[in-house]
Amino acid sequence: MSKTMSFRDIERMLDNLDLDRYPAEDPVDLRRIGAASHAIKRAEAELQEAVQAARANGRSWGYIGLVLGVSKQAAQQRFG
């Protein structure tokens, strides 16, 4: 695949599998993977926004790192 498929594109593809012809193609496990991946992307976006809000409110990288369980340097490197 040359382009990344959206979550909706993948759901449509899985909906169109011919389960009568290929019963082993039940996409339950693939749907779980897609849902988990989508949840991670949403959580990462929320985390980025939360860190930006904390910084805008004057929170130090030390406190942000403490909450994340990483050093202040690691927090700043990832989100700074």
| Residue 36 pLDDT exceeds 90 | yes
The whole-number average pLDDT for the span 52-56 is 98
- Using DSSP's 3-state secondary structure scheme, residue 36 falls into helix
Question: Rg of the Cα trace of the chain?
Answer: 19
Distance separating the N- and C-terminal Cα atoms of the chain: 33
pLDDT of res. 78:
97
* pLDDT tens, residue by residue, 60-72: 999 999 999 999 9
pTM (two decimals): 0.68
What are the residue boundaries of the structural domains of the chain, listed by start?
7-79
